[in-house]
Amino acid sequence: MARRSDHSHEELEELILKRSWEILGKEGVRALTARRIAIEIGYTPGTIYNFFESMDDLYLCLNERTLDALYDVLASPECNDPAKSSLQNMKKMAERYMGFAQEFRPYWEMLFSLHLPEARKNREGYQEKIDLLFLPLENLLAEFFSAHQHKKRKMAARVLWSSVHGLCLLQETGKIPLVGGKAQANEMVCYLIDTFVTGIKG
């Protein structure tokens, strides 16, 4: 068992988050317990609660890292290429989102499956990260809305994103064949985006 003096406060907090991130990625959220983390870092389980009020707080910190990683994907130059149309960029953004869900499935699953009290979800900075996640798509939708339709554009981004997420969830749970027949998830997503953009263009 490690001694408290082996790590500074900041080092130990980062070690807890690092090992938690690794456990989550390899074994999923069910394996992410205070006892398991303590074994990995060489401290007692009680040490975890010197840094996080509860395991929910630790989960939120991990979700924040997932949100940051996902934002980097959606805001990447590949999804926001000025040489391509907004429609093309939206399709690329959806493709990359679905790729993220597949490649980082345990993190993606915890982001949407974890049920936390509202007080914890509303902690400072968490909602801002969620709002930031929609910004790249909002920017791509800007050409389809006038300057005074800011609220409608924000709503459109959330509706389209949620629809793509629904297809992504069906793909990740193996349910696409039940609703799409022989159609592939990417084909359905492209059709969704085409239809959605046609609708908002009127």
Q: Is 3 left (phi over 0), alpha (psi -120 to 50) or beta?
A: beta
Amino acid at 147: A
Which pLDDT belongs to residue 124? Answer: 73
pLDDT in tens, 54-70: 998 999 999 999 999 99
The string of pLDDT tens digits covering residues 2-31 is: 445 577 888 999 999 999 999 999 999 999
* Tens digits of residue pLDDT in 157-197: 999 999 999 999 998 888 887 777 666 888 999 999 999 99
The DSSP string of 85-137 is: -HHHHHHHHHHHHHHHHHHTHHHHHHHHH----HHHHTSTTHHHHHHHHHHHH
Q: Can you list the domains of the chain with their CATH numbers? A: 1-51 (1.10.10), 55-201 (1.10.357.10)
Give the pLDDT of residue 84: 98
The end-to-end CA distance of the chain, in Å, is 66
**Which residues 6+ apart lie within 8 Å of 98 measured at CB?**
164, 167, 168, 171, 185, 186, 189
pLDDT for position 119: 52
